[in-house]
Structures are given as structure tokens and as C-alpha cells.
Chain A
């Protein structure tokens, strides 16, 4: 269609060109004739004074001639133009004619130039037609950009998952605080559509992970919350968040933040995840400014949670790490991640939410049940690990809080507070796994990992992780074994 249009345009162009060239040609012919006339006139003027008089047949009107004589051959009346006449000698007349001839020549030259330019134009239009008709050597290069993709790619998500308002008061408080902090942070940060989209993606990923964790086995309500929150984020429904809130409450203190973010909508989304990250980060890094590397992991549902020591959470830590790195390292509420995972729709989800991040992997709380039996099921964590975790978390709590204040990250604080509040709930730590962070870096990442309900192995749980978890979860009882393990770390 475009080609056709183009062709028609080209046709019209050629048509116009042809018209102009025709005009040019006509004028050219006219002036050539004039030039020839002047040449003959010049000749005549030269030969005229040769004789004193000429015998001529003088035309009498249109039908008659009469013999006569041409005298005063040297006297010529020249029309100068504009009704002006001048009597001149033949020689002077000749000079005038020469002068006029010059003008005519000039006009002819101009016409020739115009002709040439239009001929070139016509050639080009012909070429254009050829180009448009056939592929030719000219190719129209287009690149279709999907703005959204570009925009969201690599951009941290700003929006939080829509959180359902936390039901618990402390959660509420935290949420508000967190939300405000988050809001401020997020708003201060790159709160742009693109970022929100990125955040949404991250949250979705987290949610997926959470779901997977839930599916496999998850005593981590955190993870559950995260996933649930992620899913909620995806849906951006605040109603669902209510359920999540419950789970969140129990699991993470970040949930309030995340929920708050959810309530906010997009902004909330970003905040949530960030909150979670923050919390984790804070827990992990007490000394340094809490920075949360929030990254949504798009882990396929391959989370495998072993109840027991060797619980391994196989959700894509890497992805989380990536996301975390991508995400701004601003101290933000980790509630987001928490929220993502805290989508609690069933009691089992609760356990999923409570996940200890070990080495960047959410470690499901160890349950007393046999791992085999506990697989794909969520049990309450009454094992030592859970107690240990709980203790860890408690410890982390303090750290977090301290770090929080240092970081002056309102969001984190909120998360922490939420965590604290969560803990006091006396929630049994469903997740017996311990979140172990081997590196500081992964620690940051583990935020995400923690948040997703991926069940990390139950390795030692770092304080930060615990801290992050603590905010996520209600204070869990950590078994003495777990505590021992934690101490070992």
C-alpha cells in the first residue's frame, strides 16, 4: 500500500516534471526563433546600406502589392520598446540588434539550465520509482522497538506490589511507616513507569518462586507471602493482599511495607520488594548502609524444599541476585519481597512465607516431620532449626534495628519493626531452614531469595538473613539445634 502510494506520488511527480519540461521546451523554441530572426535582421542591416535604393513590391493591404522603391536605406527606425522609437543609422541599428541578441542569448541559456535541472529531477523520480517498485539497493530499515521491553529491561521496579493492608496493628504501623518511607524513597528514586514495570516483573518472578516454594514444601510463610504477594502484585489486587497480610504478619515484618506498597498500587509494588530487600540487607549488613539489592527472580518452579537440614531451595538465586543488582540499592522496604511471598491463601502458605534465606536461598524452616513426608507440604516448624532461626532473627532484629537507624532507612525500620512485631506474635516458626548467606553480596541478593518462598537449604543462617526473615515472619521459635547451627555460623 505504501508502495502504491509512493508510486502514485512518483507518477505525479514525473507528470509535473514533464509539464514543466514541456513549457521549457516551448519557450526554448520561441527564443531560438527570435534569435534566428535577429540574426537575419542583423544580416539585412548590414546589406541594406549597400545600395542607395531598392526596387521592391510594396504590400498594399493584405491583398495587393505595388511596385515601389526603398530609399534612405541607411535610416532605420528602431523600436526600442514600450512605444519608444529611435531613428538610427543602419550601423547603430545593428548595434542595437546585437545588444538585443545578447539578451536573447541570455534568456536561452537560462532556459537550458532549467531544462537540465528538470531533466535531472525527472531522472531521479524515475529512479525513485524504480526503488520503490523493486527492492533495489535501497532498503528501508526499520526497527520496531517495544518500548515497554526496553523500558522495563534492567530497570528497577519502583512500584510495590499492591499490598493488602496489614491486618495487624504493628503491621499497620509498620506499613504506614514503611510505606511512607518507601514512598519517599521510591519517589525519591526512580519512580517511573518503566521502573514500575520492572518492579512488577520482579515481583511476579518472586511470586512465581513463592508459588513454587509453596508447592514444593514450604514452611516459610515468608516465601509464601512473597509469592502470594508477587502474584498479588501481578494482579494488583489489594483484596488478595489481605490474605497475604495475614501471612505476612506472621512471617515478615516487611509485609506491612509490602502491603502498604500494594495499597499504593504500583508504587507499593516497588516498595514492597524494596522493603524486603532492605530488610534482608539490613540484617546482613549491619555496619554498612543498608542497601537492598532487590531483584526479582524468575526462577522456574523448581524449588525443592527439603524439610530438614538439607533443605535446598532451588529457586533461582541467581535471578534474584540479578534482580537485586538491578534494583536500586536504596534502602527500601523489603516488604515488597515479603509481600510477594506472603500471599497466603492457605494455611500452608504461611509456612512458605517463613523462609530463612540461606546463602541467598530461602531455606524453609525445618520441620519436625521427615523431609520426605514434608516435601510439598508445609508444616509448622517446631524443629530446632526453627527455634534457632527464631533466635537468629531476634538477634538480627536487634542488628537490623541498629542498622536501620544507622541507615536511616525508614522503610527498613518499618520492616524491622514489623519483623519485631511479627515475632512477638509468637508465631511458630514454620520454616526450619536457615538462611545462610555465604557472601555479603549474595546476602543482598538473598533478600529476594528470602522473600520468595523458595526453600533454601537449612544451612547456617546468617544473621542478616535471619533478620530479614524475622521481619518477614512472626518471631519463630528456634530450636536449640538451629540455634547451635546459627551460632556456628
Chain B
């Protein structure tokens, strides 16, 4: 009885750990996205400061590619929107994962109690 519970506990624990990892991944991705968001915001603002006389380059790999200012602005804006969308997506994902992990936690707690009880009984017997 105790062993069965223990096994169940183990499996549940693993599942919960997996959940937690997903949560963490999602969390870190979101953080990265947030950093990019701020960066792109700065780029946008600085592009606004420039005028068309300046040439704008985009670094694609080892190559600096000349870009138009307007084009650059548009690109940056689009990128900003994309990043925002990604952040939203990650947020919902995170929430979902949190909920699931909570459920798992509860299951784990109950299993643990059972296990303790089962352990307690044999211990008492002993």
C-alpha cells in the first residue's frame, strides 16, 4: 500500500516538475521578449530623432545592409507589434501552466498525506 502510494507520488512529482519547467521556460521567454520590447522602443525613438539624411543599416549576420529610414522605422514598428503579440501569447500560456501546476500541487499534497498515513501505520505497527 505504501509502495503503491509512493510510486504514485513519484509519478505525480515528475509530472509536477515537468510542469514547473514549462512554467519557467515560458517565464524566461517572456522576460526576453520584454527586453526586446524595451530595446525596440529605444530604437524607434532614436530613429525618430534621426532625419533622412542619415543612412540606416541593419546588421544581418556579418553584413550591414543599408536601409531606408522609413523602412527601418516601419520594420521596427512591425517588430514591436510582433513582440507585443508574443508577450501576450506567453502570458496566457504562463497562466495556463500555472493553473495546471497548481492542480498538480494539490494532487501531490493529497498523495503525500496518504503516503504519510500509510507510512505512519506501518510505523505504528512496528
Contact = CB atoms under 8 A, between A and B. Distances in A.
A96 B49 contact: yes
A78 interface: yes
A81 B57 contact: no
Contacts of B49: 92, 95-96, 99
Binding site secondary structure of chain A: strand
A49 B25 CA distance: 48
B76 A82 contact: yes
A78 B43 CA distance: 11
B60 A88 contact: no
Given A96-B46, A99-B45, A83 B60 contact: yes
Interface residues of B, number: 22
Binding site secondary structure of chain B: helix
Contacts of B58: 83-85
B109 interface: no
B54 A100 contact: no
B57 A103 contact: no
A88 B36 CA distance: 23
A86 interface: yes
Interface centre among A78, A81, A83 (most CB of B within 10 A): A81
Interface string B45-58: 11101100011111
A99 B40 contact: no
B57 A86 contact: yes
Interface in A133-162: none
B42 interface: yes
A12 B118 CA distance: 33
B43 A92 contact: no
Contacts of B40: 81-82
A78 B72 CA distance: 14
A390 to B, nearest CB: 70
Contact of B42 (A80, A83, A95): A80
Interface string A92-136: 100110011001000000000000000000000000000000000
A466 B57 CA distance: 117
Contact of B54 (A81, A82, A87): A87
Contacts of B59: 83-85
Interface string A387-427: 00000000000000000000000000000000000000000
A87 B57 contact: yes
Interface in B23-73: 36, 39-40, 42-43, 45-47, 49-50, 54-60, 64, 67, 72
Contacts of A83: 58-60
Given A77-B57, A82-B76, A83-B59, A88 B39 contact: no
A103 B46 CA distance: 12
A399 B7 CA distance: 82
A77 B45 CA distance: 16
B64 A99 contact: no
Interface centre among A82, A87, A89, A92 (most CB of B within 10 A): A82
Nearest to A87: B55
Contacts of A99: 45-46, 49
A84 B64 contact: no
B79 interface: yes
B50 A86 contact: yes
Contacts of B54: 86-89, 92
A3 to B, nearest CB: 29
Contacts of B50: 86, 88, 92, 96
Given A84-B47, A85-B56, A86-B50, 15 more contacts: A78-B46, A81-B39, A84-B67, A85-B57, A85-B58, A85-B64, A86-B47, A86-B57, A89-B54, A92-B50, A95-B49, A99-B45, A99-B49, A100-B42, A100-B46
16 contacts: A78-B46, A80-B43, A80-B56, A81-B46, A82-B36, A84-B43, A84-B47, A84-B57, A85-B58, A85-B64, A86-B55, A86-B56, A87-B57, A88-B54, A96-B49, A96-B50
Interface of B: 36, 39-40, 42-43, 45-47, 49-50, 54-60, 64, 67, 72, 76, 79
What 10 A-B pairs come out closest when comparing CB atoms? A85-B57, A83-B59, A80-B43, A81-B39, A81-B43, A87-B55, A86-B56, A80-B46, A88-B54, A82-B39
